[in-house]
Structure formats: C-alpha cells, structure tokens
Amino acid sequence: MDFRLNEEQQMLQDTVARLVRGEYSFEKRLEFSETDAGFSEAFWTQLSELGLTAVPFAEELGGFGGGGVEVQSVMTELGRGLCLEPYMQSVILGGGLIDHAGNDSQKERWLTGIASGELKAAVALQEPQSFYNLKDVATRAEKSGDGYVLNGRKAVVIGGHCADLILVSARTSGDSRDTDGISLFALSPELAGVERRTYPTIDGSKGCDITLNNVEVGADALLGGEGGAGEIIEYQSGRAIAAVCAEAVGVMEMANELTLDYLKQRKQFGVPIGKFQVLQHRMVDMMSELEQARSMAILAASVADAEQSDERRRILAAAKNVIGRSGQFISENGIQSHGGIGMTWEYNFAHYAKRLIMINHQLGDDDFHLERYAGLLQAS
Amino acid sequence: MNMNYTAEELAFRNEVRAFLDEKLPADIAAKVKGFRRLTKDDHLRWQKILNAQGWYATHWPEEYGGVKWTPVQKHIWDEESCRYGVPRSIPFGVNMVAPVIIKFGNEEQKQRYLPRILSGEDWWCQGYSEPGAGSDLASLKTRAVREGDHYIVNGQKTWTTLGQHANMIFCLVRTNTEVKAQEGISFLLIDMDTPGITVRPIITLDGEHEVNEVFFEDVKVPVENLVGEEDKGWTYAKFLLTYERTGLAGIGMSKAALSHLKQLASRRIKNGRPLIEDPSFSQRIAKVEIDLTAAAISNLRIIASVEGGGVPGAESSMLKVKGTEIRQSINDLARRAIGPYAIPFVEEELDYEYDGDFLSDENAAPLTAQYFNNRKLSIFGGSNEIQKNIVSKMILGL
C-alpha cells in the first residue's frame, strides 16, 4: 500500500503549484474576481498552454489520459490558490458529460476545444425547485421536426455567463424526479430564447440563471440517447464531486496554515495566543478535520473513474458529506481563532472561509449526501 | 414558582403592542424583517419616535429623561420589539456611554451630553479595541498626554461599529505608562470633528461597511472631556462592559430569526414538497427551537434574579455563549434552506427599494451574507472564549 503520488503525478501537482504561486497572489485574485468574467482569462490560457485543461482526456483528443488522482492533483493546487477559473465546470463536468454521452462528431466538435482550453463549457443541471437533486428536472424538451424546443429555467450555472457552450438537462419524457426521460443538450448561449441573468457569487466568482424560452435546437444538440442522460449525469457529477473534494482539501490546507501562523504571531496577554490551550485544542481539531477530509478526497479520487456501482455512489456521498462538515468546521473555527481580523475583506482568510462554505452548496451539501448514503446503507 | 406575567406586566405588554402597532413605520419594520439595509436616517427616525414616547433610555434615571422599567418590562420590550421588526438599538450612546456619564461624569457633562443623546443630535461610537488590544483590552496603547488644558491623543482604535455615522467617540486612552496596565487608563470623550482624526472603513467578508478604524494624530482634547478621574478609566470601562454583555444573548432576535426561518422553509421546495416537511430539515429546525426554548427560560431566570435591582453577573456570560451559538445555528439553517441559491450574491436585492424580480426567494439575498456576518456574534462583546474564562473564574472558582 502506498498513498504517495507517482513521479508523473507529483510533477503535475508541482507544475500547478508553481503556476498558482507565481500568478495567483491574493491581491491579483481580488482583481480577477472584479472583471466581467470573474476570473483570469490569461491564467486560463496559461493552464491550457501547460496542457492542464487536457488532463482528463484521451490522448487522441490531445489529452493526457489522466484519471481521478491526476485531477485531484490539479484541483488541490487550484484550491490552495482559491482560483476562480471554471476548471471543474468546463474540463471535468462539461468535458466529462460530452466524453461520456457524445458521439464522435460531437466530441470532435466540442471536446477538442475544451481540452485545448479554447472552448469553455458550463453545466446547467440544477433548477429553482431541484435543491440538489439533479433528477428533479422540470425543463422540457419537445420534439419538433428533426430537433427540439426547450423551455424551462436552470439555476446557479457557475461560469454560464461567459461560457461558449452550455450543457442543459431537460425532460423529454416522464415526471419530475424520474431517472428516465432526462436528456442532455449542448447549446450555444447565443441561441434565440436563451436569457441569462448574471450575478457575482459570495465566494468571488460569477454565474447566472438561465431561462430557456422556446429555444430551438437541432438533433445534433442531443448528447447521447433521448431520455437516457439521468445515469450519465449522476456518474459525471460523481467525478465532479471527487474534483471539488480535492479542491476543498487545498482550501482547507491554506486555511489551516493561515490560522496556525496567526496563532503563533498574534500576541495577547503578553504571549502568542497559540499558548492558550483552548486555541491549541481547536487547532488540533481543525487539523484532524483536514486529515479526515484528505482521506476522503483520496478515496473519492480512487473511484472517480471506476465503473458505476453502489460502492462508488456510497464513497462519493461519504466524501462530499465529510468535506462539507470539515469545511464548515475549519471555516467557522478558523474565523473564531482569528477574531475580527478573520472576518475582513482585506485579509485572505475570510475568502478561504467563504469558499469552504460555498463548496458545501455545490453538488449537494452534507445533509443531502448523508441522506444519499443512508439510502445506500448495506444491511450488514 | 410562578412563570407567568403579573397583571401589570400583561398590561404593559399590551401597551407596548399598541404603541408598536401605531407608531412603528411599516417600511422600517419591513426592512428589519426582510434583513434589508437600514440607513442612518432610518435609525434616527425611529429613535425620535421612541424618544417622544419616553421609551428610548431604559437604563437611565427618570431625572435625565429615562424610563424606569423593571428587568421583566425590559424583557417584554425586547421580545415584542424583535417580533415587530424594531431596528436594533444602536447602543453606544444610550446604553454604553450614558450610564458611564450618569454614574461617573460631572454635572456639566450630564447636562451637555445626555439631552443630545436623547435627541439624536450626537451619534456615539466606541473607542475600545485596538489592533494590538482585543481580548487583552487593558494592553491598549493609544496615548493621551496632558498639555495645559488639553490632552494630546495619538494612536489607533479599531472595530469601531458605525463610526462612519458618529460625531462623538468615547475612548479608553493610556495616560500613565509607569503603573500596571489597568491603572494607567483614562476615559475620554472626543469630538470626531477634531483635527487629526481619520476614519477608515473596514469592509467585512460579506462586503459590508459596518466597522472602521479610527486614527488619532496629535488630536487636542479639552481636559473637561475626561470622565471621572485620570487613570481610573478601567473601572468605568468594566462598568460599561456589564451593560454591553446584558442583552448580547439576543434571545428576542433569535426568536424572530427562527420564525423567519420557518416561513422560508415552508416556501422552499425539496423533492416536490415544502422543505419544512423534509424529515431531516424539520429535525434540524426542531433541535434549534428546543435549544432556544431552554435558553429563553435561562434568560428569564437571570432576569427574575435581578428583578430587585442590580445587573446580572457571570451568568449572563454563559447565556451570551449559548445565545450566540443558537443564533448562528439559525443563520446556518437559513443558508442551508436556500440550497444552491446560497451561492449567488445579488446585492441589489438587499435594498428595500429594489423593485426587480428576485432571483429565488424574496428573502434569500441577505441570508448567506448574514450567516457570514453573524460569525461576529461569538467574537464581539467579549469573545465566547473570554466569556467562558469569566464563568470559569467567577462562578466555578477555577
């Protein structure tokens, strides 16, 4: 048994780490966040030039053929830098859905662009009523001639405001929350009837809600078989869960490093506050939470690309549950250990704290995944 | 044992309700209940109404324009005003500096400052914390050196809540460096318009401007602005902190927040049903409601124990810890209740005047920001760690 990265994986992680350290200072991040895109186009270009947007794709697509561990290596470092680029949305989930469901011509058309970084995809799977259940799809796609007409509303599409391609789940048959009958469409946001309401997010990024008003698409917009996308979406969201778990570990690492530094530097009552036992024990608890999270992120990465099974479902639900809880623990206790300074915009800790809480609202929070896990409990 | 209000107390409650029904401006109540932003003018407008009723200064003797409420009456006011959506009282003038001036100030100071607090002419802020003096407040370094009829003040204060609105600040300053920390502190009243004072905003993680840094550079303060005796300021500071701590448990605010949460959870949908019917979410709400019930009774027990007069002791520290934890749990649940919509931050929806479509729920926009903002509850007014130190020392004798 060996939990270390192999040489190639370590090189990959070091590459991302160097890039993030060089390009993504806290001050620069605040500037990136203020732009219309809400991230750095230049940094995105650098990621793609280093081949990082191609990491999970097959070699014939110009990819690196990377799996869960390679994705984990990238995401953890992006987490440490609190990077705002839509890597998870476009490369992992968007790319994953097309790779999984698309035919050869669709892959040729979109996937090569995603892998090279020239095309950015966003993923519109949630709806106002869906909470975190991606099978709760009310958006309808009606057959019309050779194509479809889409109507509905998709919620909280991170990166959707500036994506070149939007992947939309819509119901071609069945009732709300049925697994069967969900179809997946790839569409340009420029199509008539696509309305986007763009907003900043509380953790410094940008996204939008999308209203689809009689949006006409051709048959070539349908990814995979009609009505068969439910399982594909579940599988690919699992890969995305593994990716954000890895990101969260990077965020938690930095949050803990910042807190520990503060405990050593900040003096009250004539001593560093790290001399107070109550703060020592809290810091130890924060470290233990990080270790729990790290273990689950590793476990999640190990099944990210495995064949679907209840065991894979359980592991991913468990990982997201642990990450949600440990993230909140580290966020809240880190702020408390800092005192008022931990709540200020000008100091980076608060931004790590916010990202950790928001990760819990992406792809299902700890309650949602606890329920999922409970539903998959083995009898013995 | 009798846990009921007396006939007089019930009559008082009716009087409070009648007053609020009639006089609380609907727009202000709507802002408070919907967690929208309040302006300085909103606060002043409400203060004038309250003062006209004679109910603004409930800690003051009647001779200075205060009203003599019993602890139970204050509690009734707290409960009802939170329920109705009364803006939180800005305590720095009326509940902080005023009791100090009344107890330790001279007649001239009372005549000058108290009426201006009542009328809203002066807006006070608090100059206690410094970058190097937070929990260890007595280590403060802002220096005041006597030169003739003035003190020359140099230094920096921080976390000055709503200092951007204030024209007066009460400050703890060091007047003697020869003695031990607590014995060289004085209590000064400073006009914010004095040359040499700079107020710089601190933006918090939710993007709000609520707190400030205040810098003092050779600020000339007349000696008549000293409260009580030089170097005795620590005694006055501690007296003030006992007033600060009462009410920090925020039971009334938690009740209002819980009611808001339940309404929100009734509107939000999960698996096709209202979220409040979801077994795990309703259990989470139930748990915090149970905790709040217990804390509310603890609060009443403390109130009853001081009904004869005086201020609560270390018990209120215990309640501050519990009360703030409960309020933070409610904020946590409200954020959870909006699911993925916790992520967008549609700032314009925080404005009461906003008349566009709401992205999700009409009350969703402030919820995540408020969850983050209220992490302050366990930090300010003496951090919860400091409160536990007080309990452990004063009650347990450890």
| Residue B293, Cβ density class (10 Å: 0-12 exposed, 13-18 middle, ≥19 buried) | exposed
A 357-376 residues inside an 8 A Cβ radius of B: 357-358, 361-362, 365, 367, 370-371
Q: Do the Cβ atoms of A155 and B341 come closer than 8 Å?
A: yes
Tell which of B89, B115, B136 closes a domain.
B89
Q: Give the pLDDT confidence score for residue B244 in this predicted structure.
A: 63
Residue of A nearest to B373 (CA): A343
In three-state secondary structure terms, B189 is strand
B220 and B259 assigned to the same domain: no
B250 and B341 assigned to the same domain: yes
Residues of A in contact with B360 (CB under 8 A): 128, 155
Can you tell me the distance from the alpha carbon of A32 to that of A23, in angstroms, rounded to the nearest whole number? 11
Interface residue A351 vs chain B (CB under 8 A):
yes
pLDDT digits (tens, 9 = 90+) for B184-228: 999 999 999 999 999 999 999 999 999 999 999 999 999 999 999
Structure tokens of A205?
């990024």
Q: Residue B96: inside a domain, yes or no?
A: no
B216 and B258 assigned to the same domain: no
B282 and B382 assigned to the same domain: yes
Q: Do the Cβ atoms of B130 and B155 come closer than 8 Å?
A: yes
Interface residue B378 vs chain A (CB under 8 A):
yes
Q: What is the C-alpha end-to-end distance of chain A, expressed in Å? A: 26
**Per-residue CA distances from B36 to B29, B87, B96, B364 (Å):** 10, 11, 26, 11
Q: Residue B107: inside a domain, yes or no?
A: no
Q: Residue B118: inside a domain, yes or no?
A: no
Domains of chain A, CATH where assigned = 7-120 (1.10.540.10), 122-227 (2.40.110.10), 231-375 (1.20.140.10)
Can you tell me the distance from the alpha carbon of A59 to that of A44, in angstroms, rounded to the nearest whole number? 21
**Per-residue CA distances from B130 to A283, B124, B142 (Å):** 25, 17, 8
Interface residue B272 vs chain A (CB under 8 A):
yes
Please answer yes or no on whether A202 and B379 come within 8 Å at the CB atom: no
Q: Domains in chain B: how many in total?
A: 3
Please answer yes or no on whether A336 and B378 come within 8 Å at the CB atom: yes
**Per-residue CA distances from B125 to B110, B128, B164 (Å):** 18, 10, 9
Say if residue B342's pLDDT is above 90: yes
Q: Which of A270, A339, A371 sits opposite B134 (nearest CB)?
A: A339
The CATH code of the domain that includes B378 is 1.20.140.10
Task: Encode burial over A107-135: b for 16+ CB neighbours within 10 A, e otherwise.
Answer: bebbbbbbbbbebbbbbbbbbbbbbbbbb
Structure tokens of B232?
């005795």
B202 and B162 assigned to the same domain: yes
| Cβ-based contacts under 8 A for chains A and B | 137
B266 and B349 assigned to the same domain: yes
Say if residue B310's pLDDT is above 70: no
Structure tokens of A258?
């910042």
Q: Residue B108: inside a domain, yes or no?
A: no
Please answer yes or no on whether A133 and B376 come within 8 Å at the CB atom: no
Q: Which of B136, B343, B388 sits opposite A358 (nearest CB)?
A: B343
Q: Which of B204, B269, B345 sits opposite A200 (nearest CB)?
A: B345
State how far residue A258 is from chain B, nearest Cα, in angstroms.
Answer: 16
| Residue B375, Cβ density class (10 Å: 0-12 exposed, 13-18 middle, ≥19 buried) | buried
**Residue B365: CB partners within 8 Å, gap ≥ 6?**
B345, B346, B347, B349, B350, B358, B359
Residue of A nearest to B208 (CA): A345
Interface residue A199 vs chain B (CB under 8 A):
yes
Tell which of B232, B267, B300 closes a domain.
B232
Q: Residue B109: inside a domain, yes or no?
A: no
Which of A125, A154, A199 to probe the B interface (max B CBs under 10 A)? A199
Which of B182, B372, B383, B398 to probe the A interface (max A CBs under 10 A)? B372
Q: Give the pLDDT confidence score for residue B307 in this predicted structure.
A: 75
Q: Residue B73: inside a domain, yes or no?
A: yes
Structure tokens of A151?
């109507």
B250 and B216 assigned to the same domain: no
Percent of chain B with pLDDT strictly greater than 90? 85
Return the residue matching tokens 């669709």. A106
In three-state secondary structure terms, B215 is strand
Interface residue A146 vs chain B (CB under 8 A):
no
**Per-residue CA distances from B259 to B30, B35, B68, B82 (Å):** 15, 13, 30, 11
B281 and B378 assigned to the same domain: yes
Residue numbers of the domain that contains B63:
7-89
Q: Do the Cβ atoms of A163 and A121 come closer than 8 Å?
A: yes
CA dihedral over B352, B30, B326, B287, signed as positive or negative? negative
B261 and B359 assigned to the same domain: yes
B157 and B40 assigned to the same domain: no
Q: What is the pLDDT along chain A (380 residues), one digit of tens a residue?
A: 889 999 999 999 999 999 999 999 999 999 999 999 999 999 999 999 999 999 999 988 888 899 999 999 999 999 999 999 999 999 999 999 999 999 999 999 999 999 999 999 999 999 999 999 999 999 999 999 999 999 999 999 999 999 999 999 999 999 888 889 999 999 999 999 999 999 999 999 999 999 999 999 999 999 999 999 999 999 999 999 999 999 999 999 999 999 999 999 999 999 999 999 999 999 999 999 999 999 999 999 999 999 999 999 999 999 999 999 999 999 999 999 999 999 999 999 999 999 999 999 999 999 999 999 999 998 77
For chain A, the 3-state helix, strand and coil shares in percent, each to the nearest 5, are 55, 15, 30
Can you tell me the distance from the alpha carbon of B358 to that of B348, in angstroms, rounded to the nearest whole number? 10
Please answer yes or no on whether A340 and B159 come within 8 Å at the CB atom: yes
Mean pLDDT of chain B: 94
Can you tell me the distance from the alpha carbon of A242 to that of A304, in angstroms, rounded to the nearest whole number? 6
Q: Which amino acid is at B221?
A: V
Q: Residue B224: inside a domain, yes or no?
A: yes
The CATH code of the domain that includes B142 is 2.40.110.10
Q: How far is CA B334 from the centre of its chain?
A: 22
Return the residue matching tokens 């990024």. A205
ipTM score of the complex? 0.96
Residue of A nearest to B139 (CA): A269
Q: Give the pLDDT confidence score for residue A2 in this predicted structure.
A: 87
Confidence of residue B313 (pLDDT cuts 50, 70, 90): confident
Residues of A in contact with B359 (CB under 8 A): 197, 199, 209
Residues found in chain B: 398
Instruction: Tell me the H-state helices in B55-173.
Output: 71-84, 91, 98-104, 107-119
B129 and B202 assigned to the same domain: yes
State how far residue B237 is from chain A, nearest Cα, in angstroms.
Answer: 18
Long-range contacts of B276-282 (CB under 8 A, 24+ apart): B280/A367, B280/A370, B280/A371, B281/A367, B281/B333, B281/B336, B281/B337
Please answer yes or no on whether B360 and A155 come within 8 Å at the CB atom: yes
Can you tell me the distance from the alpha carbon of A173 to that of A175, in angstroms, rounded to the nearest whole number? 7
Can you tell me the distance from the alpha carbon of A64 to that of B378, in angstroms, rounded to the nearest whole number? 48
Please answer yes or no on whether A136 and B129 come within 8 Å at the CB atom: no
B 330-369 residues inside an 8 A Cβ radius of A: 332, 335-336, 339-347, 359-360, 368-369
Q: Do the Cβ atoms of A193 and A212 come closer than 8 Å?
A: yes
B314 and B384 assigned to the same domain: yes
**Per-residue CA distances from A31 to A83, A164, A296 (Å):** 12, 23, 33
Please answer yes or no on whether A340 and B203 come within 8 Å at the CB atom: no
**Residue A177: CB partners within 8 Å, gap ≥ 6?**
A133, A135, A136, A137, B271, B272
Helices and strands of chain B, counted as H and E runs: 13, 10
Tell which of B172, B201, B232 closes a domain.
B232
pLDDT digits (tens, 9 = 90+) for B201-211: 999 999 999 99
Please answer yes or no on whether A209 and B271 come within 8 Å at the CB atom: no
Q: Which amino acid is at A75?
A: M
HEC letters along B269-296: EECCEEHHHCHHHHHHHHHHHHHHHHHH
Residue of B nearest to A176 (CA): B272
Residue of A nearest to B386 (CA): A278
Q: Residue B80: inside a domain, yes or no?
A: yes
Interface residue B380 vs chain A (CB under 8 A):
yes
Please answer yes or no on whether A367 and B379 come within 8 Å at the CB atom: no
B152: nearest Cα among B219, B217, B215: B219
Name residue A147's beta-bridge partners: A144
Say if residue B245's pLDDT is above 70: no
Q: Give the pLDDT confidence score for residue B311 in this predicted structure.
A: 67
Structure tokens of B301?
């027990």
B394: nearest Cα among B242, B291, B249: B242
A182: nearest Cα among A136, A126, A121, A132: A136
Residues of B in contact with A374 (CB under 8 A): none
